Amino acid sequence: MNDTIDLIHRYYDAFNRRDWPGMLALLDDNVHHDVNQGGRETGRARFAAFLERMNTSYAEELRHIVIMANEAGDRAAAEYVVHGEYKATDEGLPLAQGQRYVLPGGAFFDVRDGRITRVTNYYNLEDWLSQVRRVEVD
């Protein structure tokens, strides 16, 4: 259990440093990634492409991270608060104009042999949309 909690901490530490190779190194080659309100992608290469797209459109930092794991250490969950900036328009989403947003999020993980084998992310898309649609005019 403690090794799994440490693994997930390292995953989010790498995320907050924007250390994509370090983050990817913690994933199983055949990791399953359940994209928030989207489909399932499989494989470290697909996850890397997802990170590249996200890095293009968003600058995010996760704060107030709480990680829990079951006794066997093969499943974990995390809750956090996303502090972000929408910096480039993501396909099918509103126009990016540097909008800042803060919203709660979470993730669920499967772990095997010290590697993350599944990541399922969740945040409230409607909350995010309401924040980025609000554009402040000076």
Residue 59 bridge partners (DSSP): 85
Phi, psi dihedrals of residue 51, rounded to the nearest 5°:
-60, -40
Sign, CA dihedral 85-89-94-98, equals positive
Residue 124 neighbours by CB under 8 Å, 6+ apart: 103, 104
User: 87: which 2 tokens?
Assistant: 């910096």
Query: Is-contact 78 106, C-beta < 8 A?
Result: yes
Rounded CA gap, 138 and 135, in Å?
A: 10
Domain at 2-133, CATH class: alpha beta
Would you give per-residue pLDDT tens digits along the chain (138 residues)?
899 999 999 999 999 999 999 999 999 999 999 988 778 899 999 999 999 999 999 999 999 999 999 999 999 999 999 999 999 999 889 999 999 999 999 999 999 999 999 999 999 999 999 999 876 554
Give the neighbor-by-neighbor strand order of the sheet with 75-86. 40-42, 27-34, 115-123, 99-112, 75-86, 58-69
Q: What are the boundaries of each domain within the chain? A: 2-133
Give me the pLDDT at residue 60, please: 96
**Token pair 């107030």 is at which residue?**
64
